[in-house]
Amino acid sequence: MQTQYIVAPLLLGRLSILGRSEFIAPTNAPPTAGSSFKRIGFKKLILLCLLIGWQISFAQAESTNNSITLNTALKHAIEQNPSLKVFDFRNTALNGQMEMANLKPVYELGFEAENFSGSDELSGFDGAELTVSLSSVLEMGDKRAARRGIVSSNRSFLDAQRQVQSLELLGEVTRRYVDVLATQEQVSLAKEANDLADETLNIVKKRAKAGATPEAEVKRAQAAAAQAQLTLLSTQQQLNYLKVSLAALWGDASPNFASVEGDLYHFGTDVGFKTLFTKMEKNPAIQIFAAEERLRDAEVRIAKTQSKADISWSVGVRRFQANDDSALVAGFSMPLFSSRRNSGAVSTALAQRDEITVQKEVALLSMHTQLFRAFHNRRQAILAAKELQSTIIPALSDALKETQAAYQRGRYGYLEYVSARQELLNARRTLIESASSALTYGAEIEQLTAEPLSATQYSESTEFSGSVR
């Protein structure tokens, strides 16, 4: 089976493959029921049938050779994730708001009748005065430009929000992708552990048949084989769930891929913390405060325009029914003391704008702490993974081979043999967890800085087998 390696996430939609390589993973034949037990109870038989059924369905999925790359997963999420679709509707709403902001004050047509249906000489309609007028408002202080500024600032703020949402989505896709990649390694390790448990059972049976091992050790080996099967089943189910969770990020209810491609054990080169922090200051999550500050400035401007009173005007024609004469009428009005009455609104707008600066400082401090934690945890995880690869696992592999040979010759007991096997399996699991943590922390750093960690990130391969056989 060949597996392609992971590609670095290029955030904010800049998706490109930085590198790939291949390695040959160890393959092992699946265990048979006859090699594990001589007699199988009803419950164990059901468990075994479930396990075999799961393995068959899993094998059928793999037989389709349908895998997915991180690059493809990121592209699907950006194009299809429902959380990003709301921005299209919000943008349409802003278009409508801009149309409203561009409107001039409305013209009003008025009709007025006076001095009719009264008493004596004014009892009829002959003495009435009829007026037809046209009226509107003269906006002062360039209020229309201020309204357009509000909508434009809202659009910039919306774009910044979309970038932040996209960045968070890409980071989440990368994290779930790494989870699937790591669990694939866990499944491979569980299969190998299951085969090793069956092999151990066969060795113990042969020694028991020769009278060199008590029957109790056979039962312990049978129990260990059953536990290995349960672990394999549980890990495969976990992998299935994680694939569903990954596919959900682009709106698929069930995954249409059998596996993900990637190199779990390559971490790229380190980048200095100061360099990362400088990049983080340009993160859209920080730049969004600049967009919001511009929005608050626009709100301050429109609040100040309200301090300049609008002038209402009207012009029309009045007809006097009594003598059939006509005359023009005109008038205007404006509120008094508008500036004083509007001072509270201006103060509120200024305070809301100044609050953004403080929020930006708080966000920078919080993100600095997150970046520092992710940076050092990633370095520690990489250190642990490399030490496990280069020193610990090779030593435990040699120890297991020697212990197995000594056990078959009767020099070591069953406990020493099983302990050596379990130590190696635990180290392999720790390696997978450390590698997964390193990539996950790397994804968090990339999300905080809005850039890949380095130009060589994921572009090289590290071949590592670490077989426990």
State pLDDT tens for residues 75-99.
999 888 888 888 888 888 988 988 8
Q: What is the pLDDT of residue 119?
A: 61
Question: For residues 400 and 192, what is the distance between their CA atoms, to the nearest angstrom?
Answer: 14
Look at residues 461, 368, 447 and name the one whose alpha carbon lies nearest to residue 9.
447
Look at residues 312, 465, 468 and name the one whose alpha carbon lies nearest to residue 398.
468
Q: What is the pLDDT of residues 299-343, one digit of tens each?
A: 888 787 877 777 888 898 887 767 777 888 888 888 887 777 777
CB contact burial 50-69 (16+ within 10 A = b; e otherwise): ebeeebeeeeebeeeeeebb
Classified by CATH at the fold level, domain 105-138+308-341 comes out as Outer membrane efflux proteins (OEP) (2.20.200)
Strand-pairing partners, residue 143, are: none
User: CA angle at residue 439 from 436 to 445, to 5 degrees?
Assistant: 140
- Any idea of the CA torsion for 397, 402, 403, 409, to the nearest 10 degrees? 150
Domain ranges of the chain: 2-90+149-294+350-449, 105-138+308-341
Question: For residues 248 and 89, what is the distance between their CA atoms, to the nearest angstrom?
Answer: 22
Q: pTM, whole model, 2 decimals?
A: 0.69
SS3 at position 189: helix
Locate tokens 């030593």: which residue? 395
Q: What is the CA radius of gyration of the chain?
A: 38
Contact 377, 441 (CB under 8 A): yes
Question: For residues 55 and 232, what is the distance between their CA atoms, to the nearest angstrom?
Answer: 10
- Report the amino acid identity of residue 405: A
**Backbone phi, then psi, for 41, in 5-degree steps?**
-75, 175
Residues in the chain, pLDDT under 50: 1-64, 455-469
Q: What is the pLDDT of residue 383?
A: 93
- Token reading at 427: 């180290």
Identify the CATH class of 2-90+149-294+350-449: mainly alpha
Q: What is the pLDDT of residues 385-396, one digit of tens each?
A: 999 999 999 999
Q: What is the pLDDT of residue 468?
A: 41
Q: What is the pLDDT of residue 14?
A: 34
DSSP per residue over 230-294, as a string?
A: HHHHHHHHHHHHHHHHHHGGGT-SS-S-SEE---TT-------HHHHHHHHTTSHHHHHHHHHHH
Locate tokens 């448990």: which residue? 197
